[in-house]
Amino acid sequence: MPTNHEPAPFRGLAAGIAAGLVASLAMNLFQKAWAKALPPPGSGDDPATVKAAQRASRAATGEYFAKEDKEAAGNAVHYLFGAVLGGAYGLLAGYRPEVTKGYGTLFGLGSAAFDEAAVPAVGLSGPPTDFSAATHAYALASHVVFGGVTEATRRLVRADG
């Protein structure tokens, strides 16, 4: 039986997917807590996850989601993306343990950088210069939470010796 120091691709992928889902929930809870403590940053526009869900719906069905379904559709995109990122992280961690340095916070910072570049690049938001420092701090802190919880959960799920 492999130990948590030997690659086990399926186990790493499964642990990472589970970790990404748990971390996505933690990120949502963190953002709700932040919103209670400080005014939520943002433009009043739909979040990028809702915009992505709307694009996918339009491409698949020719229709957009109804207003009452937007939040659920955005959450589905958020959790799907978290599961994909977590799965990739869990798989890679089995082969390159150094990706877990910083207890997942470096992964979280990397996901924040990816978010800052990819979301505007695909037209789901304006460029980073359109947002305040508070909005960037909120996003950065949210992604650090995502990374740390991904690693904590991955270790818990993957613990096998």
In tens, the pLDDT along 12-26 reads: 999 999 999 999 999
If you average pLDDT over residues 70-75, what whole number do you get? 94
Residues in contact with 3: Cβ distance below 8 Å, sequence separation at least 6, in sequence order? 160, 161
Q: Which pLDDT band holds residue 42 (cuts at 50, 70, 90)?
A: low
Tell me the C-alpha distance between 142 and 139, whole Å.
5
Quote the pTM value.
0.88
If you average pLDDT over residues 82-102, what whole number do you get? 95
Mean pLDDT over each residue of the chain, to the nearest integer? 90
Q: What percent of the chain stands above pLDDT 90? A: 68
Do residues 23 and 108 make contact, with C-beta atoms less than 8 angstroms apart?
Answer: no
- Residue 105 is predicted with a pLDDT of 94
Tell me the C-alpha distance between 109 and 114, whole Å.
9
Q: Domain ranges in the chain?
A: 22-43+75-158
